[in-house]
Amino acid sequence: MIKLYTIGFTQKPAEIFFNLLRNSGVKTLVDIRINNVSQLSGFAKGADLEYFLKEIGNITYEHNLDFAPTKELLSMYRHNKITWEQYETEYLKLLDMRNIAQSTDIEKLHENCFLCSEPTPEQCHRRLLVEYLKRVRNDIEIIHLIK
């Protein structure tokens, strides 16, 4: 069984965020945000996050833009130009256009955790991504790390 985790960093103090990751057994955090350097990210800015993960939980860090939505798609959703349902459809089309199902070695994602900013997975592309991967491989267990 391949375990895929997801986590969002907003509305979580650093202590809870890092404890969730460490206590779950996550080996690699895969940052799937378009922008991982925003000042609004606090402790979750890319370079800082990489350092904290290594020091606190011996967790490696990767930034994977292939799993991120486009800036245009995200902007259209955030500015209410498309609904969540339309965003879902477009994001999944984007994964297909990028050949994610064929080009991703899902076995190597075991014990990886996909990071985005949303506090819960319901309306976040990290949930869409792991569900997409589960449709490719039915031996995937999805675990959403929330407080």
Q: Which pair of structure tokens corresponds to residue 101?
A: 């199902």
Structural domain for 59, as ranges: 2-145
Number of domains in the chain: 1
What does the pLDDT look like over 132-142, one tens digit per residue? 999 999 999 99
What is the predicted pLDDT for the residue at 133?
98
Element containing residue 2 per DSSP (H, E): strand 2-8
- Mean pLDDT over 24-35 rounds to 96
Element containing residue 113 per DSSP (H, E): strand 112-116
- Mean pLDDT over 70-82 rounds to 96
Q: How far apart are CA 24 and CA 68, in angstroms?
A: 24
**Average pLDDT score, the chain:** 94
Using the predicted structure, report yes or no on whether residue 121 has a pLDDT greater than 80: yes
- Mean pLDDT over 8-15 rounds to 93
Query: Where do the DSSP E strands lie in 9-103?
Result: 28-31, 60-63
What is the predicted pLDDT for the residue at 43?
83
Read off the CATH number of the domain in which 37 is found.
3.40.50
What is the predicted pLDDT for the residue at 40?
60
